[in-house]
Structure formats: C-alpha cells, structure tokens
Amino acid sequence: MIAMKFGGTSVGSAEAIKRVAKIIESRFERQPVVITSAVGGITDKLVALGKSAATGDDDLVKELVDFITNRHLEIIDQLRLTSGELRRIIDDTIDDIKNLCRVISSQKNISKMLNDELSSKGEYLAAHILVEYLSQIKIPATFVDVREVLLTDSSFGSAKPLFDDSAKNAVEKILPIVKDGSVPVLQGFVGRDASARTTTLGRGGSDYSATLLGAMLGVDSVEIWSDVDGVLTADPSIVSEAKRIRSMTFKEAAELAYFGAKVLHPATLLPAVTRDIPVWVFNSMRPEYSGTKISRANNNGQKGSCIVKSIAYKENLTVITVTSLRMLMAHGFMASIFDIFNKYDTSVDLVSTSEVSVSMTVDKTEHIDEIKEELSRFAQVEIEQDKAIVCLVGEQMKRTPGMPASIFCLLQDVPIHLISQGASEINISFVIDDDNVDKVVTRLHQHFFSGALDPNTFAV
C-alpha cells in the first residue's frame, strides 16, 4: 500500500486532474490511498471570503462565492462529469459556504472554528471531483471523509493530530476499501475534534495528512505530488537554476521543511520517521523526470561529496531580545522566559544566548504584546520585525570544519543578527533582514552549487 498526496496545482485544472488520474492508475497495483488538497488557490479564496464576510463586504463575498463556484463547475464541465450526485454535492457545499458567510457576517467576526469549517471546503470539493473522475475512467474510487478518521485536538488553525485514536479509525474505515480493490480518496489538511467540529492542520497541511495517514496504515511509501521536480537545492522562485536533490535523509528534509522550504509542511516528516517510511517528492506534470527520495539512509548508503544539500529561508519573522543582569549565573531564568512563550502557544524557531541576554525568533505574533509585557516584568525587552532565517542543510556539514567561517566571509556586507548551528550539526541558520533574503540565498547558492556537483546526489 502507498499513500499519494496531490497538491493544489496537481488538481488545479481539468488537465491536471487527468494527469493525476493517470498517475494513480500507474500505481494501482500498489494499492494507493489518495489524499488531495483543494484546487489550487481555492483555500486562499475561502480564507479571504471569511474575512470579507466578517467585515460585511457583501460585494466581495458575492464575487468570491461566484469565483469558487465557477471554478469547480468549469472543471467538472471540462472533465465531462455529468453525475447528478456530484452536482448536488457541489451545490450543497456552496450553500454551506453561503450559510457560513451569513453567520460570520452576523457575528461581524470570524472565529478560528468557523475559519476552519470554511477553509476545509476546498478539499471536500476536490476529493469528490477526483473520485467521480476516477470512476468515470473505470478506476474504482471511494470518497472517505477524513473527519471520520483523523481526530485532532481543538486548536483550530493548527490542530494537533491524536495519532492512536485516528489510527484505529484509519484501519477500520480505509483498509476494507483498499482490500475491496477501490482507491480511497480523502481530504488533506482537515480533521475533526472530540466535539465533531472541523479542524485544520495549518496551511500547507495536506503533506502532513499524507504522512500521518500513511503511518497509521503502515504504507510502504508516501508520495507527495507537487509542481516541482522534487526537493531542490533552493526555492526555485528565488534561484531559477536550483537543482533537484535525488535523495536526502529524514533529518535533512525535516530541517528544510521546518526552516521554510514550502514544498513540505514543517511537520511532514515526523510520522514518516517514527515508522521509517520513505517519502518521495514528485512533479505531477513530469512524473518520469522527477523525484526526491527522503529516507533514513543517505544516497542509498553512499557518501556523497556535497557539503551543503539545500538552502531554505523563512521570512516575516520577529526577533525578541531579552536582556537582564539577573541572568548571570541564575538558575531557571531561561525556563521562566520559555514558560511565557508556552503560555501564549508561541513557538520559538531559533535561539541565541549570551551571558546577559537571549534572542529568539518567532513566527506567530498574535500574542506579542502580552509576551512583551510579561517579559518586561523581569527584563529589558527589544522587538525587531521584518527579519528572516536562512538555513543551510547537509549531513556532511558536521564533518566539514570551517563551514561557518566560509559562509560569513561570503556575507561580509550583510548585517547578521543571530547565528545558530543546530545541535544535530547538520544545519547552520542565521537571521538577516527580510530585504536581504534574495541576495543572500542567491549568493550562497552560487557558492555551493555552481561547481561540478555530485551526480549521485543531484540531478545535473
């Protein structure tokens, strides 16, 4: 059995859905379980819809509802899906969306709960369309509402999966369909809490859904089908000549995902690591020319000659620096700082300390004022915005002395605010101003990837 996840672009048009169906067909013997994202761009529109309903912008609400409706109708029309049942599902879902907008409008505010309910609709629609198209071309397929399987806590917008209970459901609800020779198709991104309310795993969360469900079902591999040839040496939107990485370790890929490589949701590798399930990243537009294998072994056991495998970055971060003379020799000072971040459910990405100060980067700034106020009770607090982390990853980095020196030599003219070498020593991360991201990533990429590259590691 394998789990296959298709991202927004992969199901973004009738043509794309036809390609996806071919890919599924080519793997039919391997008993695929399919997880789909919403049609590309639809989740953004649903989120915008919730906001415009909350501010009472009725014109924009209507425009967005029409856009969402027409986009799906156009696709089913081009796929010649004439089933009355599918049409009813789409109409009912659009009615649900309109009703949700009315509730949000009357409350003049959108709760995180309603935001999740609304933004989950894209995956629901895409999954039904895919099932209908597969059935039309005689690939037996069955829709399984992922909310009957994937249970989570109630942190709407970034819900935490409850693995063991969900795994029982997965085995009960998904396995019989596979055994029956049909392809189960489920929504990515979505779950349900103990009170049967819809939750979501956070933006880009369908990758995580795929490895979670894959681990629960004990699949042989998980395939993430996207619009890039695999995990690349850098974000192709900054570095157009970025190369495909043939294979990487779980650790390398997890660091990259965590530090912003959008091709994988930050939590994607966790379930795969625990069950030792290889994860592949493929391009649904070029199935035969693509692929990065992420697994425990590196390069199928060979040692590559590359030092850096990839460069990631994460923008729009805030740096908080806490300074206090009381930190000197004091026990528990760090703990009291992190307790405050914990209390506001704000995770810290990168930390750097000196004798009397500690600097941290955070992504989520919802509670920054409260955090500042509590920290100010015992320390001086400075907050800087518009910062970015750049992170270089590679297993070989731990065996290469002088790496930090060579990196910072290259970046002499760029202000660097914090530096951290991960405990695993397979990454070096540092904080710069958002404005310098393009320049820094391009320069580092040129330095590490313009010479002769190891063909075992990179597709060149």
Note the residues at the interface with ligand ADP (CB under 6 A): 7-10, 37, 204, 226-228, 231-232, 234-237, 261-263, 310
230 forms part of the interface with ligand ASP (CB under 6 A):
no
For 177-210, the DSSP string reads: HHHTT-EEEEESSEEE-TTS-EEE--TTTHHHHH
Nearer to ligand ASP, 283 or 298 (CB): 283
Q: Which does 231 bind (CB under 5 to 8 A by kind): ligand ASP, Mg ion, ligand ADP, none?
A: ligand ADP
Q: Which residue has the CB atom at the shortest distance from Mg ion?
A: 204
Nearer to ligand ASP, 203 or 439 (CB): 203
Q: How far is the CB of 204 from Mg ion (least distance, A)?
A: 4
Nearer to ligand ADP, 231 or 340 (CB): 231
How far is Cα 220 from Cα 333, in angstroms, rounded to an integer? 46
Q: Which does 122 bind (CB under 5 to 8 A by kind): Mg ion, ligand ASP, ligand ADP, none?
A: ligand ASP
Residue 26 CA: distances (Å) to CA of 64, 179, 229: 36, 18, 18
Token duo for residue 25: 């067909």
Nearer to ligand ASP, 124 or 333 (CB): 124
Q: Which string of x and - marks every residue 95-134 that binds ligand ASP (by CB under 6 A)?
A: ---------------------------x------------
Q: How far is the CB of 224 from Mg ion (least distance, A)?
A: 8
Three-state DSSP state, 425: coil
Q: Which of residues 23-52 bind ligand ASP (CB under 6 A)?
A: 37-38, 43
Measured at the CA of 371, the angle between CA 365 and CA 373, to 5 degrees, comes to 130
Q: Which of residues 196-255 bind Mg ion (CB under 5 A)?
A: 204
Q: Are 230 and 290 in contact (CB under 8 A)?
A: yes
12 forms part of the interface with Mg ion (CB under 5 A):
no
161 forms part of the interface with ligand ASP (CB under 6 A):
no
Residue 226 CB coordination number (10 Å): 24
211 forms part of the interface with ligand ASP (CB under 6 A):
no
Q: Which residues contact 115 (CB under 8 A, 6 or more apart)?
A: 47, 50, 156, 157
* Burial class of residue 135 (count of CB atoms within 10 Å of its CB; 0-12, 13-18, 19+): middle
As a whole number of angstroms, the longest Cα–Cα distance in the chain is: 73
Q: How far is the CB of 36 from ligand ADP (least distance, A)?
A: 10
Token duo for residue 277: 């399930």
Q: Which does 235 bind (CB under 5 to 8 A by kind): Mg ion, ligand ASP, ligand ADP, none?
A: ligand ADP
394 forms part of the interface with ligand ASP (CB under 6 A):
no
Q: Which of 459, 410, 417, 457 is nearest to 435 (CA)?
A: 417
Side-chain half-sphere of 361: how many Cα atoms within 13 Å?
Answer: 25
182 forms part of the interface with ligand ASP (CB under 6 A):
no
Q: Which residues contact 43 (CB under 8 A, 6 or more apart)?
A: 8, 37, 119, 122, 189, 203
Q: How far is the CB of 11 from ligand ASP (least distance, A)?
A: 10
Among 8, 12, 184, 230, binds ligand ASP (CB under 6 A): 8
Q: Which residues bind Mg ion (CB under 5 A)?
A: 7, 204
Q: Which residues bind ligand ASP (CB under 6 A)?
A: 7-8, 37-38, 43, 122, 188-189, 203-206
